[in-house]
Structure 1
Amino acid sequence: MPATTADEDDPKSASQAEIQRRTDPPPLTARRSRTAKVFRLAATGVILVLAFVAAAFVWEFYVAAPWTRDGSVRVQVANIAPQVSGQIVALHVQDNQRVRKGDLLYVIDPIDFEVAVTSADAEVKNREADLQVKNAQSARRQALTTVSTSVEEKQQFAGTAKIAEASLESAQAQLRQAKVNLERTQVKSTVNGRVTNLLMRVGDYARTGTSNISVVDTDSFWIDGYFEETKMANIHVGDTADIKLMGYGPHLAGTVESITLGISTANAAASTQGLPDVNPVYTWVRLAQRVPVRIRIEHKPDDVPLVAGMTATVVLGTGRAPLPLWFTGLRQRLFAFSASGDQNEPR
């Protein structure tokens, strides 16, 4: 039979030992285990909050916010055509040269037009002299009161004078036209801009109404952003635009000027039989159409050139409640990252 101690046989001593065991601090390993568990729970909570914030941000930037990487720089080009025909005898510009509205571009041989002005001027003088003679004759006939001059003869002389007057007006109109044609031998720029793709040279023949020189209108640059139709509900005229051109760090600022009301559709084309050519639609793959949005450029950094056809990434501000500064900054950094991402990614 095992031996027992006095403390083990004493119930009072046993209860005091149990109370002492419960009030004593737990061992160090147990405290560390509890601390680690609390830390893991707190870390999990922080990660969940961060994941929620990141998911909300990604949803805001990629789904809800109207933005596109499919933007393009656009510009108007003045295709200048002569209003008279003739051989080009002088060229006053070079390719890619800056010009102002009214600057002389080239000159058409003016000799034939100078001759036309001289001939028309001589015709005017001839008609003026003829009108003077007719008016004098009519005045003398009207003054005659003899029986030999009838009323019909007086009317006839008056009509002759009116015909001479009409002939003079016609000659004067021809003279004005001849002078205008002479002025048109000097072809001038109709816009402020830069000559582009210049192929003409002295000796070429210029034909009336046929464009032979193009000038990029540098006052007409704008941005076309092609936005998915799923984002059109958040796009309005007057929204601000943040624009970044591929290859350049500084951003441009703009404003939504207008939204296109129609795009072409392949289903509208007629088949060889004249029937509608309707393409098959795969219901499990529905790609959103892209709608052009015209953006007026409000501010452009001096070190960022504008070239028609350049690729732009556009983010629009919808006028909703402002986001926190840290959120806006993070969004701008993601925008810059997206704009400078894989350039070969299909859009």
Structure 2
Amino acid sequence: MKRWIRFALIVGVVAAVFLAYEVVTSYVAYTADAFVRSDLVAVAPEITGRIVAVHIVDNQTVKTGDLLVEIDPVPFKLDFGQRQALAQEARAQVEIDKDRIAAANDAVASATSALALARLTQQRASTLMSAEDVSQAAVDRANDALSRAEASVASAQSDAAATLSTAAMHQASLRKAEADLAIAQWRLDRTKIVAPLDGAINNLTVRVGDTGTVNDPLIGIVAATGWRIIANYKQDYIRNFTLGANAWVWLDSEPWRFHRARIKSIARGISREEGAQKLMPYVAPTTDWIRLQRRFPVTLTLVDPPETLYMGADARVVIFP
């Protein structure tokens, strides 16, 4: 009998603990697996060159457009000058082509007028020959003049077409030269690297004399905006969460004070394998009894954030679903 009583007590205690857990988790959701996050922007050169000036120091606050680093502009200035000269040469050639086209058109017009006169003369000579007022020799001369006039028109038209074709090639060369000049100007402008957003310089290692390489991150900037709390909650909690719900956040960088926050978003999926999918967040599961509990990232925004936040700092979150 005592065994049954003990067994019943054990079952009752377990049931009570389970019920208490369910009740508590229905009203209080706590996690210590949370941290502060902002956006880390990797600033990379768009050209390759030697660093000649660094205008920032580590942990410095910067504003959008502030000058960060300068790359040696000399090679890019020389290239720009060369491209500029080629573009000027191409423009001059286009102007010459305009004069040549005008001269070719004048030649066609002159040859056409001469052809009209030759036709009229030939027709008149043929008419007079029928009336026996001119000789056959005169008619032959008129026919010969007409043939030469027709040949002159054909030649003038051919020359005009060739001139137009050459001008079209020169126009294409000008467009290419202007495009090359624009690219050279763009590269020259990129010798000065500026801050793309407001934020703070993080872990600065670049020094004068280093080589900046295209698309190779040179400077990290922690964005001044977009601060949020990422709280990883076990999957049996999130069913009770709603967007906009209140939460309380304890920041380890500012202890002994709770900050009010709101749920901004809840992840709709996670990766089951570490590193398998970069587009899905991976959260390492925790061992709870036998089953591995999966956790989902919940994003919260602070209602009244402190003046200074630290990306990656630990946090603890309490949500009352």
TM-score between both structures, scaled by the size of structure 1: 0.67
Rounded Cα–Cα distance in structure 2 between residues aligned with 1:56 and 1:286 = 19
Of 268, 274, 282, 1:261 maps to 268
Do the aligned partners of residues 266 and 74 (structure 1) sit closer, same or farther apart at CA in structure 2, a change above 3 Å counting? same
Following TM superposition, by how much is the alpha carbon of 1:111 offset from its aligned partner in structure 2, in angstroms?
A: 0.3
Following TM superposition, by how much is the alpha carbon of 1:267 offset from its aligned partner in structure 2, in angstroms?
A: 10
Following TM superposition, by how much is the alpha carbon of 1:253 offset from its aligned partner in structure 2, in angstroms?
A: 2.3
Of 213, 218, 221, 1:212 maps to 218
Following TM superposition, by how much is the alpha carbon of 1:296 offset from its aligned partner in structure 2, in angstroms?
A: 2.0
2:306 — aligned with what? 301
Alignment of 1:231-246 (within 5 A): 231-246=237-252
Q: Secondary structure at the match of 1:195?
A: strand
Do the aligned partners of residues 229 and 132 (structure 1) sit closer, same or farther apart at CA in structure 2, a change above 3 Å counting? same
Aligned letter for 1:260?
A: A
Following TM superposition, by how much is the alpha carbon of 1:242 offset from its aligned partner in structure 2, in angstroms?
A: 1.4
Of 166, 187, 196, 1:160 maps to 166
Do the aligned partners of residues 199 and 284 (structure 1) sit closer, same or farther apart at CA in structure 2, a change above 3 Å counting? closer
Alignment of 1:313-328 (within 5 A): 313-318=316-321
2:84 — aligned with what? 121
Alignment of 1:61-100 (within 5 A): 61-62=24-25, 64-100=27-63
Q: Name stretches of at least 5 consecutive residues in structure 1 with no aligned partner.
A: 1-54, 270-281, 319-347
Rounded Cα–Cα distance in structure 2 between residues aligned with 1:86 and 1:266 = 40
Rounded Cα–Cα distance in structure 2 between residues aligned with 1:207 and 1:78 = 17
Quote the sequence identity (%).
Answer: 28
Contact 1:64–1:231 (8 Å) recurs in 2: no
Q: 1:105 aligned to 2:108?
A: no
Q: Secondary structure at the match of 2:237?
A: helix
Aligned letter for 2:74?
A: I
Q: Secondary structure at the match of 1:150?
A: helix
Aligned letter for 2:208?
A: V
Contact 2:26–2:240 (8 Å) recurs in 1: no
Do the aligned partners of residues 267 and 68 (structure 1) sit closer, same or farther apart at CA in structure 2, a change above 3 Å counting? closer
2:181 — aligned with what? 175
Following TM superposition, by how much is the alpha carbon of 1:61 offset from its aligned partner in structure 2, in angstroms?
A: 4.4
Rounded Cα–Cα distance in structure 2 between residues aligned with 1:109 and 1:88 = 6
Contact 2:27–2:320 (8 Å) recurs in 1: no
Rounded Cα–Cα distance in structure 2 between residues aligned with 1:298 and 1:126 = 63
Q: Deviations over 1:196-237 (max 9, x none)?
A: 111110000111111111111121221101111111111122
Q: Deviations over 1:131-153 (max 9, x none)?
A: 11111111111111324233222
Following TM superposition, by how much is the alpha carbon of 1:183 offset from its aligned partner in structure 2, in angstroms?
A: 0.7
Q: Name stretches of at least 5 consecutive residues in structure 2 with no aligned partner.
A: 1-17, 112-148, 277-286
Following TM superposition, by how much is the alpha carbon of 1:301 offset from its aligned partner in structure 2, in angstroms?
A: 3.1
Rounded Cα–Cα distance in structure 2 between residues aligned with 1:159 and 1:77 = 54
Rounded Cα–Cα distance in structure 2 between residues aligned with 1:56 and 1:252 = 30
Contact 1:238–1:255 (8 Å) recurs in 2: yes
Following TM superposition, by how much is the alpha carbon of 1:67 offset from its aligned partner in structure 2, in angstroms?
A: 2.6
Contact 2:234–2:296 (8 Å) recurs in 1: yes
**Computing the radius of gyration over CA atoms, which structure comes out larger, 1 or 2?**
1
2:115 — aligned with what? none
Identify the range of structure 1 (205-214 vs 59-68) with the bigger mean alpha-carbon deviation: 59-68
Following TM superposition, by how much is the alpha carbon of 1:98 offset from its aligned partner in structure 2, in angstroms?
A: 0.6
Contact 1:65–1:231 (8 Å) recurs in 2: no
Aligned letter for 2:267?
A: T
Rounded Cα–Cα distance in structure 2 between residues aligned with 1:218 and 1:87 = 29
Contact 2:25–2:237 (8 Å) recurs in 1: no
1:288 — aligned with what? 293
Q: Secondary structure at the match of 2:204?
A: coil
Aligned letter for 1:309?
A: G
Aligned letter for 2:55?
A: H
Aligned letter for 2:42?
A: N
2:255 — aligned with what? 248
Q: Deviations over 1:239-289 (max 9, x none)?
A: 1221111251232222211111222224998xxxxxxxxxxxx99622422
Contact 1:252–1:299 (8 Å) recurs in 2: yes
Alignment of 1:186-225 (within 5 A): 186-225=192-231
Following TM superposition, by how much is the alpha carbon of 1:191 offset from its aligned partner in structure 2, in angstroms?
A: 1.6
Do the aligned partners of residues 83 and 248 (structure 1) sit closer, same or farther apart at CA in structure 2, a change above 3 Å counting? same
Do the aligned partners of residues 62 and 194 (structure 1) sit closer, same or farther apart at CA in structure 2, a change above 3 Å counting? same
1:26 — aligned with what? none
Do the aligned partners of residues 171 and 284 (structure 1) sit closer, same or farther apart at CA in structure 2, a change above 3 Å counting? closer
TM-score between both structures, scaled by the size of structure 2: 0.72
Contact 2:104–2:156 (8 Å) recurs in 1: no
Q: Deviations over 1:55-87 (max 9, x none)?
A: 999865455423322211112111110001110
Contact 2:263–2:298 (8 Å) recurs in 1: yes
